[in-house]
C-alpha cells in the first residue's frame, strides 16, 4: 500500500467522521442561515419607495405627468392626489394620507422632516413643468425645447486607494481575505483537535503501527481541508442564491489584472499585451553583409 493511498484512506475517514458530527452540521446550517439573512434582510427591511404626493392650487397643467415621469426616473412610485383647497391638502398631510403637499407649484409642505430625495425630485419636476409652460406660451416648439433641455451625460468614477483599483476590488479582496483567514483558523484548529483526541484515546498508536506518521498527518490535513472547502463552497452557493433572489444586493467584483507574460504575447490574467513579432525583412534583423565561403565569390 503506497503512502498516497494510505493518506487518502485517512482523509476519507476524517471527512466521514467530521461530517457526521453535530457540531459540524450545526456550523454549516448556521453559516448558511447567517449569510442568507445578512444579504436578504436589509433588502426586505428597506423602506418602501412609494410616495403619496398631494397637489393643490394653481399649477402647470402638465405638473402631475411631469412628477410621475421624474419619479420613475428616480425609481420612486408616485401616487398623485389632487385637492380642491389648501386646507384639505394640509389636513391630508397632518393625517398622514400624503407625504408632501405641492401648494400652488411654489411651496412644499411636509409633516415633519423633509425627504431630501423626494424634495429634490419635486423641485426638478416643478421647474421642468414651469419651463415647458413658459416655452409653449412663447411659441417654442416641444422639439426645440427638448433639444435645449437635454441632459448632459456625466460619468461617475469611484477611485480606490491605489491607482487602477476600484472600491469594489478592495471590498472583494477584503471579503476573500476574511474567508481565507476564517478557513485557515477554524480548520487548522480542527486538525489540532483531531490529533489531540486520537492521542488521548491511544488511537494514534494503533494507526502509527500500520501507517507512517507523514501519511497520517497528510491525510488529516487533506481530509479536513477538503471538508472545509466544501463548507465554504456550500456557504458561497447559499450567498449566490440569496443575491439572485434579492436584485438590490450588489456583489463586489474583481477585475482581471494584466501581468506581462512571456514573449508569446500572453498575460497571466488576460491577453492584453501585444505579441512579440519577429522582423519580417532582413534589414530589420540587422545590417550584416553576407560573406561568401572562403575561396569562393558571389556570381
How many beta carbons lie within 10 A of that of residue 10, not counting itself?
Answer: 21
Residue 5 CA, chain-centre distance (Å), reads: 42
Q: For 201-221, what is each residue's pLDDT tens digit?
A: 777 777 777 888 888 888 888
Q: For 146-180, what is each residue's pLDDT tens digit?
A: 787 777 787 777 666 666 666 666 777 787 888 78
Phi, psi of 138 (to 5 degrees): -85, 0
- Give me the residues of the chain with pLDDT under 70, please: 1, 47-48, 158-169, 247-299
* Domains of the chain by start residue, with CATH: 3-42+167-245 (no CATH), 50-148 (3.40.190.10)
pLDDT value of position 48: 67
Dihedral (C-alpha) 117, 120, 126, 129: value to the nearest 10 degrees? Answer: -80
Amino acid at each position: 500500500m503506497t503512502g498516497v493511498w494510505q493518506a487518502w484512506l485517512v482523509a476519507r475517514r476524517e471527512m466521514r467522521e467530521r461530517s457526521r458530527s453535530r457540531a459540524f452540521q450545526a456550523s454549516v446550517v448556521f453559516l448558511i442561515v447567517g449569510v442568507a439573512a445578512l444579504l436578504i434582510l436589509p433588502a426586505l427591511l428597506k423602506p418602501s419607495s412609494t410616495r403619496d404626493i398631494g397637489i393643490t392650487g394653481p399649477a402647470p397643467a402638465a405638473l402631475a405627468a411631469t412628477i410621475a415621469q421624474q419619479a420613475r426616473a428616480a425609481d420612486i412610485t408616485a401616487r398623485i392626489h389632487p385637492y380642491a383647497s389648501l386646507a384639505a391638502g394640509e389636513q391630508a398631510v397632518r393625517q398622514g394620507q400624503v407625504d408632501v403637499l405641492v401648494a400652488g407649484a411654489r411651496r412644499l409642505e411636509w409633516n415633519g422632516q423633509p425627504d431630501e430625495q423626494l424634495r429634490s425630485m419635486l423641485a426638478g419636476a416643478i421647474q421642468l413643468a414651469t419651463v415647458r409652460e413658459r416655452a409653449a406660451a412663447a411659441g417654442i416648439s416641444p422639439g426645440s425645447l427638448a433639444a435645449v433641455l437635454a441632459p448632459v451625460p456625466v460619468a461617475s468614477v469611484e477611485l480606490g486607494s491605489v491607482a487602477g483599483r476600484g472600491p469594489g476590488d478592495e471590498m472583494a479582496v477584503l471579503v476573500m481575505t476574511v474567508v481565507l483567514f476564517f478557513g485557515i483558523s477554524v480548520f487548522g484548529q480542527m486538525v489540532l483537535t483531531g490529533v489531540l483526541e486520537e492521542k488521548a484515546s491511544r488511537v494514534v498508536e494503533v494507526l502509527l503501527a500500520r501507517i507512517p506518521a507523514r501519511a497520517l498527518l497528510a491525510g488529516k490535513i487533506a481530509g479536513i481541508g477538503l471538508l472545509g472547502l466544501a463548507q465554504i463552497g456550500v456557504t458561497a452557493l447559499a450567498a449566490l442564491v440569496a443575491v439572485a433572489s434579492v436584485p438590490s444586493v450588489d456583489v463586489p467584483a474583481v477585475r482581471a489584472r494584466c501581468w506581462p507574460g512571456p514573449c508569446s504575447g500572453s498575460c497571466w490574467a488576460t491577453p492584453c499585451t501585444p505579441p512579440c513579432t519577429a522582423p519580417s525583412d532582413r534589414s530589420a534583423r540587422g545590417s550584416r553583409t553576407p560573406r561568401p565561403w572562403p575561396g569562393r565569390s558571389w556570381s
